[in-house]
């Protein structure tokens, strides 16, 4: 595809008008302010009229639980522990592999609608989750959840064989779109032996780890009580978890020493502003993290705690809430927020050749229709995108050069069937509870 005479955000997230971008063999083959020759243009195929549009890197959702589409609207207005123990865990115990497939497929359609091409996911039955991502044409960092109570190690758990199978069957599958990560659900749902085993397992295989940390004040304080004053960050560090690439979701209650550790160890922190606000968990100290060099990315979390995959909503919150909570309108600039949602998200997934509108990079792109009234005047394009844009402004999403959403249509997903399947499966589970 050749995007013709289109405004865009370049590799520095600077706004450039009247550009040309050629996509070929899944990558950005040309970007410039002049039209390529007729001979070269013909090699890109369809010419996409860029009038009234903005081209930008697609979004990378750094923390999600895609099958939880099944739980949207199910456990409302509860704090995290009651939400998990009284509602979510009992529901999840009823979810089958096929339920996981359909929940993930509908989540993929929703994400594609909102310009998301890749997501990091931790859940159960992840062979089926990955199958859904492949069918939808998206990228996925897939991890099966480690929960280990009692004095058991990784070798004592079915998860060990499941992870071996995931790696064998799916790591780098679908031309590299699927990446297998390791997983530790949280400090409070696992024991030190299993955590250390998982860290060693990931290090031996060169894999990344996804986990939750310091999401609530209660979690943070109880961890200190259980582990001689160690916070979750310091607890995971003591067990070797930070010796491999890690994405920690939430980090709402981290202290200054934690932040210094996160920065020094190159940990990616997946901010989840919508989810943390909805569950009343608090506000992660993102401005302090950015000041100290922590690599901040952005996630939507699960659909029982957000309740949508509209990354532009979370982008808006990331850029806005800290101005109010700190009393400083200069913190978390639009460019920082956009970087968290795009390039930093790609890097958190180990996707070095993604997340930038630049020649040679993977063609992971989304197009925004900026002809609506909320975009006028275009005095500050980045400000408009972050503070006035909406996920519904996305009119095209491309993953590895393949269009996965365009103008209300999903070329690879039967969305009506996915909606019906999810509704029926949710009803079945609720009837069983």
In this structure, are residues 178 and 140 in contact, taking their beta carbons and an 8 Å threshold? yes
For the chain, report the end-to-end CA distance as a whole number of angstroms.
49
- Helix 311-326 and helix 334-341, axial crossing angle in degrees, nearest 10: 140
Total residue length of the chain: 433
Q: What is the rounded average pLDDT of the residues 170-178?
A: 98
Amino acid 191: pLDDT: 97
- CATH number for the domain spanning 259: value is 3.20.20.140
Q: What does the alpha-carbon distance between residue 103 and residue 94 come to, in Å, rounded to a whole number? A: 13
The strand pair at 15-24 and 27-32 is best described as: antiparallel
Residue 79 pLDDT grade (very low, low, confident, very high; cuts 50, 70, 90): confident
Q: Which helix (H) or strand (E) holds 100?
A: helix 97-113
What per-residue confidence (pLDDT) applies to 424? 98
- Relative to beta strand 268-271, strand 295-298 is parallel
Query: Exposed e or buried b for every residue in 235-258, given b needs 16+ CB within 10 A?
Result: bbbebbbbebbbbbbbbbbbeeeb
C-beta of residue 347 within 8 angstroms of C-beta of residue 295: yes
Q: For helices 97-113 and 415-432, give the axis angle rounded to 10 degrees.
A: 140
C-beta atoms surrounding 419 within 10 Å: 14
Three-state secondary structure call for residue 105:
helix
- List, for residues 211-230, the tens digit of each pLDDT value: 999 999 999 999 999 999 99
* pLDDT value at 127 more than 90: yes
Give the pLDDT band of residue 192 (cuts 50, 70, 90). Answer: very high
pLDDT over threshold 90, residue 157:
yes
Q: What is the DSSP letter of 280?
A: T
Average pLDDT over residues 149-178: 97
- Looking at 66-176, which runs of residues are DSSP E strands? 116-123, 139-144
Are the C-beta atoms of 61 and 116 separated by less than 8 Å?
A: yes
Instruction: Give the Å distances, CA to CA, from 378 to 54, 341, 371, 382, 388.
Output: 12, 22, 10, 9, 11
Q: Does 197 score more than 90 pLDDT?
A: yes
User: What tokens were used for 18?
Assistant: 């009247």
Per the structure, the complete domain to which residue 253 belongs is given by 1-433
> Per the structure block, which two tokens stand in for 201?
């397992």
The answer to whether residue 83 scores a pLDDT higher than 90 is no
Query: What is the phi/psi pair of residue 51, to 5°?
Result: -60, 130
* pLDDT tens-digit series, residues 234-280: 999 999 999 999 999 999 999 999 999 999 999 999 999 999 999 99
pLDDT tens for residues 46-74?
Answer: 999 999 999 999 999 999 999 999 999 99
What pLDDT is attached to residue 75? 85
Read off the pLDDT band of 411 (50, 70, 90). Answer: very high
Confidence of residue 80 (pLDDT cuts 50, 70, 90): confident
Residue 342: how many other CB atoms lie within 10 Å: 28
The string of pLDDT tens digits covering residues 337-360 is 999 999 999 999 999 999 999 999
Q: Using alpha carbons, list the distances in angstroms from residue 410 to 114, 313, 420.
A: 12, 21, 16
- Determine the distance from the C-alpha atom of residue 292 to the mean position of all C-alpha atoms in its chain, rounded to a whole number: 23
pTM above 0.75, yes or no: yes
CA dihedral over 48, 52, 57, 63, signed as positive or negative: negative
Rounded to whole angstroms, the Cα distance separating 295 from 289 reads 8
How far is 60 from 150, CA to CA, in rounded Å?
Answer: 35
For the chain, the domain total comes to 1
Distance, in Å, from the CA atom of 226 to the CA atom of 247, rounded to the nearest integer, reads 23
User: What would you measure as the largest C-alpha separation in the chain, in angstroms?
Assistant: 69
Residue 366 sits at φ, ψ, to 5 deg, of -135, 150
- Whole-angstrom distance, CA of residue 104 vs CA of residue 253: 30
Per 3-state DSSP, the chain is made up of helix, strand and coil in percentages (nearest 5) of 45, 20, 35
Would you say 171 and 180 are in contact if contact means Cβ atoms under 8 Å apart? Answer: yes
CA distance 425 to 226: 39
């Amino acid at each position: 595809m050749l995007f013709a005479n289109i405004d865009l955000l370049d590799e520095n997230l600077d706004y450039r008008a009247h550009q040309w971008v050629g996509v070929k063999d899944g990558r950005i083959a040309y970007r410039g302010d002049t039209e390529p020759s007729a001979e070269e243009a013909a090699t890109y195929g369809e010419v996409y009229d860029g009038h009234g549009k903005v081209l930008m890197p697609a979004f990378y959702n750094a923390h999600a639980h895609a099958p939880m589409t099944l739980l949207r609207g199910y456990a409302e207005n509860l704090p995290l522990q009651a939400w998990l123990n009284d509602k979510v865990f009992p529901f999840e115990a009823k979810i089958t592999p096929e339920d996981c497939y359909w929940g993930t497929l509908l989540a993929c359609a929703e994400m594609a609608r909102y310009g998301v091409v890749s997501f990091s996911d931790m859940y159960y039955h992840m062979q089926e989750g990955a199958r859904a991502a492949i069918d939808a044409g998206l990228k996925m960092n897939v991890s099966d959840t480690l929960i280990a109570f009692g004095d058991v190690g990784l070798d004592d758990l079915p998860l060990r064989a499941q992870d071996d199978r995931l790696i064998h069957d799916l790591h780098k599958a679908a031309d590299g779109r699927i990446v297998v990560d390791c997983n530790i659900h949280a400090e409070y749902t696992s024991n030190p032996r299993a955590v250390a085993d998982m860290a060693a397992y990931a290090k031996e295989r060169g894999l990344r780890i996804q986990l939750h940390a310091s999401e609530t004040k209660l979690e943070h304080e109880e961890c200190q009580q259980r582990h001689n004053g160690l916070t979750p960050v310091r607890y995971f560090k003591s067990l070797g978890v930070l010796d491999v690439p890690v994405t920690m979701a939430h980090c709402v209650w981290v202290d200054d020493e934690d932040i210094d550790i996160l920065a020094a160890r190159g940990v990616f922190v997946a901010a989840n502003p919508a989810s943390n606000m909805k569950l009343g968990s608090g506000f992660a100290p993102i401005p302090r993290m950015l000041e100290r060099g922590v690599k901040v990315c952005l996630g939507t979390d699960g659909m029982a705690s957000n309740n949508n995959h509209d990354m532009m909503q979370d982008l808006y919150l990331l850029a806005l809430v800290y101005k109010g909570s700190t009393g400083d309108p200069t913190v978390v600039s639009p460019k920082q927020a956009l970087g968290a949602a795009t390039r930093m998200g790609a890097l958190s997934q180990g996707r070095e050749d993604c997340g930038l509108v630049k020649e040679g990079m993977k063609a992971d792109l989304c197009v925004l229709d900026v002809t609506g009234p909320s975009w006028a005047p275009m005095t500050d394009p980045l400000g408009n995108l972050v503070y006035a844009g909406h996920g519904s402004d996305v009119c095209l999403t491309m993953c590895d050069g393949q269009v996965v959403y365009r103008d209300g249509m999903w070329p690879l997903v039967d969305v009506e069937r996915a909606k019906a399947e999810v509704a029926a499966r949710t009803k079945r589970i609720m009837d069983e509870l």
